[in-house]
Amino acid sequence: DYHRSPRGSREPMYDPPLAPEDSKLKDVIDKLAGSIVQGNNPQLEDMIKQNQKDNPLFAFLDDSHEFNNYYRW
């Protein structure tokens, strides 16, 4: 199945990644992703990854984490 993108090209349809059920975790992911996109600051992710490496709430920054796809989406 395909859909038309805003640019008019045909792109495969897929379901977005599942969001975490934990509202606190979802809020942290959404706010961080928004901050990085709005500020156009990819270094922010590296800084937070380093500063929060022992904080399980930021484990989604690891590529193998179950909610990393949601964060990247």
Which tens digits make up the pLDDT trace of 30-63? 999 998 888 777 788 999 999 999 999 999 999 9
Rounded-to-integer distance, Cα 24 and Cα 37, Å = 20
Closest by Cα among 33, 57, 61 to 46: 61
The pLDDT, as a whole number, for residue 13 is: 61
The pLDDT, as a whole number, for residue 63 is: 94
Q: What percent of the chain has pLDDT over 70?
A: 82
Task: List Cα–Cα distances, 51 to 9, 33, 43, 55, 58, in angstroms.
Answer: 41, 16, 12, 9, 10
Other Cβ atoms closer than 10 A to 61? 19
Rounded-to-integer distance, Cα 72 and Cα 61, Å = 9
Other Cβ atoms closer than 10 A to 70? 19
